[in-house]
Each structure stands twice: as structure tokens, then as C-alpha cells.
Amino acid sequence: MQIPEMFKKDDAVSPVIGVILMVAITVILAAVIAAFVFGMGTPESAPQASIKASNMSEDGFTIVHQGGDQIDFTNNKTKLFVGGTEASGDSVDIGTFSVGEEEYINLTPTLEDGDSIRFIDDDSNQPIASFTADI
């Protein structure tokens, strides 16, 4: 057999490429079906609420729920961070917080001027509200 004739014979190329394409299509189709079956569900979203903070002092501040979803402070469902540190104690466990309610948050650690105050939803790890301390 001469070398130029070897390059002209491509009888087996088409079936091999066809098999490779069929395997690739099958794998992609299986991945798409598995994604739907095992759930690419919508991610959890944080409660949407309008919260106003006032009467800030070193010991705490008052929050007023002005509108939106109810916020659940029970069982650490909503966490409070002051200056990057998670606040703890009975003052943070105020139960559920609904529209029109007003609560005083007694802080541990103490609040300093310029500290960031953030309420974070634990399920979605998204912020609900954030403020800057103005003492």
C-alpha cells in the first residue's frame, strides 16, 4: 500500500464520529433530566421588610417594623450582627416581629458610633436590613 492511498481511505471515520456524538448527546440529556429530577429549585429568599432603627445608645436601639414580611427571631432564624460580631442573648430572641411592632434590642456586645448593624436571614444567608450606628 502506498502512503497517498492510505490518506484517501476514510471509511471508518464516519461511524466512529457518529458513535461519539450519540454518546455525547446521551450524557447531556441524562444530565439535564437529572437536574430537573433532583431539583434545581428556586433558592430560599429572605423576608422582605422595612425596618427603622432609632434611639441608639451603647446598650442598644429600638427597631420598628414599618411594612413587609413578618420576621422570625425564634430559634436563630434571624441573626443580628453588630460590627461583624454576632449579637447574642435574650434581647435578640424577641419572637416574631410583625408590621407595626416596636422592640428594644439590648445589645451584647455594646454598640459604638459607626458600627454596622445587620439582620441576616439564617435560611438564605441574605440580609433583611442594615444600619449604621449613629450614637
pLDDT tens-digit readout, 5-50: 666 666 666 788 889 999 999 999 999 998 888 876 666 788 888 9
Residue spans of beta strands (DSSP E) within the chain:
49-57, 60-68, 71-72, 78-82, 85-86, 96-97, 102-106, 116-121, 126-132
Would you say the pTM of this structure is higher than 0.85? no
Give the contacts of 105 (CB within 8 A, at least 6 positions apart): 60, 61, 62, 63, 80, 87, 91, 92, 94
Q: Domain map of the chain by residue range?
A: 3-37, 49-132
Instruction: Give the sign of the dihedral formed by CA 115, CA 54, CA 86, CA 89.
Output: positive
pLDDT tens-digit readout, 44-84: 788 888 999 988 888 888 999 999 998 888 877 888 888 88
Query: Does CATH number 1.10.150 belong to domain 49-132?
Result: no
pLDDT tens-digit readout, 78-120: 888 888 888 876 566 678 889 999 988 888 777 888 989 898 9
- Note if the bond before 109 is cis, omega within 30 degrees: yes
pLDDT of residue 78: 84
